[in-house]
Structure 1
Amino acid sequence: MTTSTALLLADLTGVAVFAASGASAAVAKRLDLFGVVFVGFVAALGGGILRDLVIDEVPPLAFADWRYAATAALTAGATFWLHPRLARLRTTVLVLDAAGLGLFTVTGTLKALDAGVPAVGACLLGMLTAIGGGLGRDLLTGEIPVVLRREIYAVAALAGAVAVALLDAFGRADAAGLTAAAVFVFALRLVSLRRRWSAPVATLRPPRTGARGPGS
């Protein structure tokens, strides 16, 4: 299997995983079939579309290659019909979401580097590719985006993107190195969930009550 074929399979696997995640969130919000498929499409392909627009690849791959849209739509549709079974597989969905995060981080960063984007910008684009769809999913379903909450999600994607950029800089961005980077993101996400790691949150002090005014 060539590297390009492996990356295509990784990309489509990530599309399917995030489409299922988006569709599951839409089903929980009681959207109709079209709404479920649309949210699944956005969750699966939103980050990639954003990346392609930034690197001036028009039309974005999600529209230029029918396999991406078809994979997202079919997976979201299947999730709509099979959601009673999937609802009992919350742990499995979280594992698949972590796998998709790793896959999209690697493919997004690598594509940005191949387009000539400097390393820092490529890392940011890799992170946005991985989290952009989830951001769109949460906004469409009226939730505070996961990436803005305490969970280690965007941080895991950014760490993986930095790993890919380093591998590319040292000429080690081969199948083994990229697989290791994806596994790193996957493992970091799962470990953070299991150990309940979180980013720091500002502590808000309650307003003082009963304070004396001047001259009292």
Structure 2
Amino acid sequence: MSGIDTSTLRRAGDPLALGTRSLAVKAAAVVAGTAVLALSSQVEVPMVPVPMTMQTLAVTLVGALYGWRLGAITVMAWLMEAMIGLPVLAGGAAGFAHFAGPTAGYLWVFPVVAALVGWLAERGWSGSNVVRSFLAAAMGNALCFVVGGAYLASMIGFEQALAAGVTPFIVGAVLKSGLHAAALKGIDTVQARRS
């Protein structure tokens, strides 16, 4: 991007400068984002009734890197791929049944998580501010636990949902929030050196 001042494109919450790009570039970003989300779903620790995956890390990163609008759209596009039968969920799963089963609450809240993290990123909770970046991802994970756990509780009861759908994932959520913050700090550092 010679001749263009990249520092003006690299505003808070838009480190990829997608807000200034053409519709074609944004569409390509959505396709790339759904691919990352699908790949993150395949990094899985099988657990019942909810598997542990890297999906939440990918969802928070998409939100922070794409901004709240495009982040939510990207996650919704990925969920639509799953609904129409593409094997993009954990373990290569697909189909509408997953949107009514034990993991449904987690899946339905993912676009909101991306939007929340993107909204916070646009307000400086990203990039060089590692603590706020971590907290933004942690809030996204917490929202996922609340909605996903509540839906699961409606199926199997509160105590079982807490034991099977929330508690085993807390340490992973903290680690993924740390990875989220580290990744965004790394991107910010690389961009600052290029500016």
TM value normalised by structure 2: 0.42
Higher Cα radius of gyration: 1
TM value normalised by structure 1: 0.39
